[in-house]
Structure 1
Amino acid sequence: MADALRERTARLLTDYLEYCAREPGTPARAPSTPEAAVLRSVAAQVQQRHERFLSDYRGYGGNRVELVAQVEREILAHPQPLSWGRVVALLTFAGTLLERSPSGTYSNLGPDQELELGEWEAGVRQDCRHLVDFLCNRLTGQHRAWLEAHDGWDGFCLFFTPMLPSSWKRLLAQALLSCFTAVILIYFWKRLL
């Protein structure tokens, strides 16, 4: 029997980590799911807020999976309650490790270094798959009960998405005020007749 939460988690992680691992300047594919769109948006805000810290990890050449495992143990530790914010922090960090340096950085490389760059890019693709597996196993294994208690990825979307977009709020307020005004006008019109 298929595990819907695991499949959805794997799809979300694959979408986000491949989005992060794309070459600089390459147009991003559209998010594959609503939760992927929300994650990209929230992660971009986290990256913007913590640019100084995260920039040190762009183009990371070490063992990305091991580093994410260490960070996961710290961020999602048992004594501290799990939260969507902690999940986003972990996923943002993992995505940052896969980000490539700006394309201009590699323009003056020699032939030996270009081979290293090619190997590095192959390593990014491989680590992307390994990180999807690792994070999917942790989120749908050790943290499954928490995910299910918080409505899974639907709960994630609800947590980070306002109930109504601001344009809808304005439209709703205008409609309610119009109705209220119409009721008052009808009331006074009937009193005058």
Structure 2
Amino acid sequence: MESCEFLSRFWEGKMSCWLSKETLVLAEDYLEFCVGVQRTPPGPASEAMRCLAKEIEKQNLSKFHSLVQTFLDSCGPDRSSSLRKVMAEMVGDGKLNWGRVVSLFAFTGVLVGELHSRGEGKDCCRRLAETIADYLGVEKQDWLLQNEGWDGFCKFFHSSRGQNHESAMKTALFAAAGIDRMKTRLCVW
């Protein structure tokens, strides 16, 4: 029985590491894409995230810019900790879904774009990508695994095209609107 427990913990650790690394690649690709780095997406999930998150951003640009300004005015120098609080707030009701994940990427993409325009280098992309990877790939690992990881995200993306696209976008827009609740909390932080 002990060897089974050891193997189970071993595979859980491997899975967590793999999922975290895959999430980091995805997050870093998207954030660098948001600051103008031109390269081929490293995989289908990155391509899907670029498409969906940018669509959400375009549809809610003024709201995202307002939220980013509030975030920057109140977060202080430790943006990663503040972003972690935003992520926790987005799923505070326990209902993580792909729409909320896309909204998180869209928000962070607008944030990185603003930081880049203020002269902050690529380091901010890496730090915030690591924060996303740690949160989604480690803390929300169980949810990601239950939803087939980033392959599941690709299925969501493809199923949301055409007939179901509007419904999937409404889910993501609803989650994006949930960031608005952050204004109150951001002022307190």
Name the % identity.
30
Aligned 8 A contact 1:35 1:153 in 2:
yes
Aligned 8 A contact 2:84 2:135 in 1:
no
Query: Normalising by the residue count of structure 2, what TM-score does the alignment of the two structures yield?
Result: 0.66
1:74 paired residue number: 89
Q: Following superposition of structure 1 onto structure 2, how do residues 48-63 of structure 1 map, counting pairs within 5 Å?
A: 48-56=58-66, 57=68, 63=77
RMSD: 2.8
1:23-75 residue CA offsets vs partner (Å, 9 max, x unmatched): xxxx62221110000000000111122111113337x5854323322211210
1:153 to 130, 140, 150: 150
Is residue 2:107 matched to residue 1:144?
no
Aligned 8 A contact 1:65 1:127 in 2:
no
Is residue 2:101 matched to residue 1:87?
yes
Q: Which runs of 5+ in 1 are unaligned?
A: 104-116, 167-193
Aligned mates of 1:101, 1:128 — CA distance in 2: 9
Aligned mates of 2:19, 2:127 — CA distance in 1: 19
1:75-130 residue CA offsets vs partner (Å, 9 max, x unmatched): 022x3311011111111111110114998xxxxxxxxxxxxx5xx323xx222111
> Across the two proteins, how many residue pairs are aligned to each other?
144
Amino acid at match of 1:18: E
Q: Which runs of 5+ in 2 are unaligned?
A: 1-12, 164-189
SS at match of 1:46: helix
* Aligned-pair CA distance for 1:21: 2.4
1:20 paired residue number: 34
Identify the structure with bigger relative contact order (alpha carbons < 8 Å, sequence gap 6+). Answer: 2
Amino acid at match of 2:106: T
Aligned mates of 2:59, 2:157 — CA distance in 1: 16
Q: Are the structure 2 counterparts of residues 53 and 152 from structure 1 closer, same or farther at C-alpha, using a change threshold of 3 Å?
A: same
Q: Following superposition of structure 1 onto structure 2, how do residues 35-50 of structure 1 map, counting pairs within 5 Å?
A: 35-50=45-60
* Aligned-pair CA distance for 1:160: 1.3
Aligned mates of 1:5, 1:18 — CA distance in 2: 20
Is residue 2:106 matched to residue 1:99?
no
Amino acid at match of 2:133: C
Query: Normalising by the residue count of structure 1, what TM-score does the alignment of the two structures yield?
Result: 0.64
1:121 paired residue number: 120
Structure with max Cα Rg:
1
